[in-house]
Structure 1
Amino acid sequence: MKGMPSTPFARATASLHGLALGDAFGSQFFVPASRHALSGRLLPPDPWQWTDDTEMACSIYRVLADHGVADQDRLAASFAARHDFDRGYGPATNRMLRLVREGGDWRALSAELFDGKGSWGNGAAMRVAPLGAWLADDLAEVVRQAALSAQVTHTHPEAVAGAVAVAVASATVVREPDLSPGRFLDRVREHVPASLVREGIDEARRLLTIGDPVLAAQTLGNGRQVSAHDTVPFTLWVAARERRDFEAAMWTTATAGGDVDTTCAIVGGIVAASGTTGFLPPEWASRCEPLPNWAGAPPLTP
């Protein structure tokens, strides 16, 4: 392995900052003026505020820092305690986290969602990139811990597959930074269970020669349906092509529209795992809301 920069803590910190910056950047494109600026690649006015994607990722980061694994009970408690209704959570997650705070059993509440099928939304995938960076030394453990982290709120196999795919992508950026786009997607696919998400990764590989993200998203999805299989394949298509250039990755992702804060958060968390916090463009970082103090992540370095 040619990769493996720094320590698990440093890698996860870089990934978390990239996720938050992507999330905050993407969230600006729900404002009409910012959407207009997208065509000219003009940075939206600051401040850029992050959403539930970052808030939940901070809980994963903090639990890993404190315990070394995705302890499900501690994750559920942190998700519920740190839940800020105004950060853009979906209605099912809002209700579940409120009930957990009131003493509900997260296992039962998560499993009961959507008539007992569990949520197949993209919420488990949007928050998991720092976990892949942290545990990159052991891909089998990345897969196991990503699934555990997902199941706290998303028990549907598609949501779990989406979280596994993103975590493995983040770990692969750390482990093998010089892979070609095709081999990068191959490596991720090897660890994703049979699912619509994995089929989407196969399609993303076939579409690597397409340079237009809008055309790619027409086939792969862009998160508009807020499902894992409508979100993750496109984000991996972007990460495979643009993982050495954070700015290019963000503009490419945002251009496709859809659930832009989440797709940019996923891509940002993956590509930032490849370096240090200094990998992120300083002008962009200066516009982004700082991470919460409770996360325990060091601030961005100049």
Structure 2
Amino acid sequence: MKAETKYKGSVKLSAIGDALGWITEFEKNTQSLNEKFGTKRIDSFHTWKKVVGGRFYGFIDTIKAGAYSDDTQLLLAVARSIKKDGASDHNYFAKTELVNWLEYARGGGRTVKVAADKIQRKSVKWFNNFYSYKINGENYDYKQSGANGAAMRVLPIALANLGNIEKIKEEIFCNSIITHGHPRAILGAMLYGYALNQIIVYRPEDFNWENYITHIGLDFPKKFELSFANRAEIREWIKEWNKTGNTTFETIYSETLTETQDQLRFVFQSIKQTLPVQETLKKLGCFDQATKGSGTATVIAGIYLATKFHKTPLEAVIEAVNALGSDTDSIAAFTGGLIGALHGHNIIPDKWKSVQDFEYLDQIAEMLLAISEDRFEENRTPLTSNLKTLNNIVEDDFDLDEEIEFAPLGNGKITLIDRQPTLTKGKYNLLLETALENGQTILVSKLFNDPTYSKRIDEPNEIEMLLGLAKDNLRPKTLEKLKKYLSKQKKMPTEQLEILFTIIKNEE
């Protein structure tokens, strides 16, 4: 099998897993799936809706069938940050790609968004983005961020440096600490890169799952020791990390190595004993609210599914997608990346080829292969056009089909404009969907004051907005009961409306 086939398979099936898993990420049971999508098991793309930006100032984002989330958006951002020698331009990723990603982020978690915001501080370099913040009385600390927001984006680093394990680990470590400070996030990302590097060299017919998992777990602490810790930036980062707290980074990292090796041993036994998928994922912590997004557990879940279903590869992705209650989009992306690296892109069924930006994903895969084969020529030219920019929009003066520019992705054309009034009167959200010349599509939103607010007579009232949200989130019988109740209310107190909005939104 050609290397190009495997590279394209890995990149595209990662995005496909992300897109399918994003549909189920907020679903709690098969009954909910059946009522919304007419099926109890998601194996194809569907259009769905999501409330973004909070109740008072938010908007309804219509997610088109095949659209991917932040997992793939940031994967592409990392890919664009890799230089011709396979090394990553970490400053470029942190200060340009990551910062501007906030303008078009879809589905991004709190940790990555906060990190992207904090990295904008002039005094902060890519390797010292330490921060803490408080939300609703609860403290959040960069050092405690151990979720999979780093692992989900590092596939390009592994593909660009195929065969060079030490470089893969070092580059992934550096990329990870831009946003995440806990060893689980960092080790999970390095483990995913290592697992990709191992599986891609197999021919599907020669794949031996026992050898594969055994090789990953063999001498695990030695395999993942930080041999590059003397790199100046990493040395400074560890020193800063150890300034606060009673336990050093090295100690927690060592404990995480042992914990992760034990999880790999469990996965090996699970496959050997043919334990059910649900039971295995539960024991990995994938359904526990405190650990479901763990950087190590979700990567191991991807390794487990890709390995267990290596003879029926599409089923591996579908199992991840339908593990309701888990971090389905990230686990499915990990599973897809591994399965694609093993089997190549020829296994992708036609119904999955409508994933967002299919051709651009191919281009990225070709670029990563060219870098790995030392034949890539960089062509990162700065924007010089005089077109309107979608960065930091200040005026609502855009037209359909208008040509624009967006740093750092280049020029493009507006393909959809939507204006949605918010629950807070006198405000509205401007939504601009844009097809960029590089092949990527993005959606940028901006909250504006409505200058015509006092003159409008067609503005939806709060009851109408409540019903609009209810139609998307409630079951038919519950919706009918709510309609009957609301029809009897001549006037409803604001506090009562807020309670209803909160309840209905939490049904997602």
**When the two structures are superposed, what TM-score results if normalisation uses the length of structure 2?**
0.52
- 1:250 paired with 2:317, answer yes
Which of 269, 283, 298 is the matching residue for 1:231?
298
- 1:73 paired with 2:136, answer no
Q: Answer with 1 or 2: which has the greater Rg.
A: 2
Shift of 1:162: 0.4
- 1:184 paired with 2:212, answer yes
Shift of 1:55: 0.8
- For 1:42 and 1:18, the matched residues in 2 are separated by 13
Say which SS state the counterpart of residue 289 (structure 1) adopts. coil
Distance 1:26 1:112, change over 3 A: same
Partner residue, 1:95: 114
CA contact (8 A) 1:18 1:271 kept: yes
Structure 2: any 5+ residue segments left out of the alignment? 48-64, 134-139, 226-256, 367-438, 440-508
Shift of 1:86: 4.4
- 1:151 paired with 2:216, answer no
1:142-191: CA deviation from partner (whole Å, max 9, x where unpaired): 22222222222123222111011111111111123433212211222243
Distance 1:157 1:249, change over 3 A: same
- Residue type at the aligned position of 2:23: Q
Partner residue, 1:215: 279
- 1:49 paired with 2:63, answer no
Equivalent positions of 1:96-135 (< 5 A) are 96-101=115-120, 103=122, 104-110=124-130, 114-115=140-141, 117-135=143-161
Shift of 1:107: 2.7
- For 2:142 and 2:117, the matched residues in 1 are separated by 19
Structure 1: any 5+ residue segments left out of the alignment? none
Q: Which moved more, 1:151-160 or 1:189-198?
A: 189-198
Partner residue, 2:101: 82
- Residue type at the aligned position of 1:43: S
1:62-102: CA deviation from partner (whole Å, max 9, x where unpaired): 22265522232122132222234641222232122123345
Distance 1:58 1:67, change over 3 A: farther
Identity of aligned residues (%): 19
- Residue type at the aligned position of 2:340: A
- For 2:130 and 2:201, the matched residues in 1 are separated by 33
- For 1:230 and 1:298, the matched residues in 2 are separated by 26
- Residue type at the aligned position of 1:96: A
- 1:136 paired with 2:162, answer yes
User: RMSD of the TM alignment (CA)?
Assistant: 3.1
Partner residue, 2:264: 201
Say which SS state the counterpart of residue 74 (structure 1) adopts. helix
Q: How many residues align?
A: 294
- For 2:109 and 2:126, the matched residues in 1 are separated by 16
1:90-118: CA deviation from partner (whole Å, max 9, x where unpaired): 22321221233454434332476844524
- Residue type at the aligned position of 1:105: K
Say which SS state the counterpart of residue 49 (structure 1) adopts. coil
**When the two structures are superposed, what TM-score results if normalisation uses the length of structure 1?**
0.84
Distance 1:254 1:241, change over 3 A: same
The structure, 1 or 2, with the larger RCO (C-alpha pairs under 8 Å, 6+ apart) is 1
CA contact (8 A) 1:38 1:255 kept: no
Shift of 1:279: 3.2
CA contact (8 A) 2:8 2:361 kept: no
Higher strand share: 2
